[in-house]
Amino acid sequence: MTHRAGWISDVHLGTRGCQADVLLEFLRDHEFETLYLVGDLIDIWSLRRRRYWPQSHSDVVQKLLRKARKGTRLIYIPGNHDEFVAEFPGDFGNIEIMPRAVHRTWDGRKILVIHGHELDTVVQNMGWLAHVGGLGYELLLQANHPVHWVRHRLGLAPWSLSAYVKSRVKNAVNFISDFEEAMARYAQDAGASAVLCGHIHMPSVRRIGELSYYNCGDWVEHCTALVENRDGKIELLRLRDSAAAVAATSL
């Protein structure tokens, strides 16, 4: 299947939680004229603590490079976990590295594409606390494994403890709501009609006032991507268990 554009974020290569095999299946089944990597492709924070890099993570990088060689325009917007890439802006063959981008849809809408950590006051002003939070999130992800095993043995559908905690804790819910509204205001000030981001690992397609808000989600818990079809419609694809079984949400 070929799309006019696609967006993936928060892959977190270099961590045990990364669902690289599911992402590889998605990349094999979908082609793009332009593919945006919306930050945190590689988790340098985690790699600094411990070395973890299985073959499937190299396969993802090789697959992305192969798409670029075959003509896909690849735009890499670094996040906070791979911020070192931001030190090398510019064009590298068919790969472009930039802090943010503006995407024009087929029907002329202007979408601001940004990772989102720029508006996260914890990341910007209390970097040490962001690292502590990242470590706590990894521990929650590790707790997912025994939960998944038990549910699998009982014949139940996959369920994420970390996603449940984030969605139920009041402060997390308030943070997500504040983040989304801040992103919408930022895009409005930039003269865009929509904003598309990642960072908070919460896939979303919704309206905030007069703007459209899109979040890619992640490839750790949700396995989601955004795509623009030939008619300009943007869909959120959910590929939790298999890239062959896609549930779509559009706006």
Instruction: Summarize pLDDT for 172-183 with one digit per residue, the tens.
Output: 555 677 889 889
pLDDT at 144: 61
Highest mean pLDDT among 56-60, 156-160, 245-249: 56-60
> For residue 116, what is the domain's CATH number?
3.60.21.10
pLDDT at 124: 44
pLDDT reading at 123 higher than 80: no
Stretch 127-150: mean pLDDT: 52
Q: Which residue has the tokens 């983040």?
A: 179
* b/e burial code for range 124-142 (CB count within 10 A of at least 16 → b): eeeeeebeeebeebbebbe
Tokens, residue 93: 């063959």
103 is in which domain, residue-wise? 2-250
Stretch 118-127: mean pLDDT: 52
Asked if 114 contacts 197 with a C-beta cutoff of 8 angstroms, the reply is yes
Stretch 64-86: mean pLDDT: 94
Identity of residue 245: A
Stretch 82-98: mean pLDDT: 92
Distances (CA, A) of 68 to 20, 48, 92, 162, 240: 19, 28, 10, 34, 25
Maximum CA extent, the chain: 51
Beta-carbon contacts of 240 under 8 Å, excluding residues fewer than 6 positions away, are: 22, 158, 222, 223
Closest CA to 17 of 151, 130, 117, 161: 161
Identity of residue 79: G
- For 137, which DSSP code? H
pLDDT reading at 77 higher than 80: yes
Domain count of the fold of the chain? 1
Per DSSP (E only), the strands in the chain are 2-8, 31-37, 73-76, 90-92, 95-97, 101-104, 110-113, 194-197, 204-208, 211-215, 224-228, 234-238, 247-250
The residues facing 76 across adjacent strands are 37, 97
pLDDT tens profile 210-251: 999 999 999 998 999 999 999 999 999 998 754 434 455 666
Stretch 168-174: mean pLDDT: 51
Q: What span, in angstroms and rounded, lies between the C-alpha atoms of 22 and 121?
A: 32
- Mean pLDDT, the chain, whole residue set: 83
Tokens, residue 118: 């720029």
pLDDT at 71: 94
- For 14, which DSSP code? T
pLDDT at 235: 96
Confidence of residue 131 (pLDDT cuts 50, 70, 90): very low
pTM over 0.85: no
Q: What percent of the chain has pLDDT over 70?
A: 75
Among the ranges given (22-31, 46-55, 129-138), the one the predictor scored with the smallest mean pLDDT: 129-138
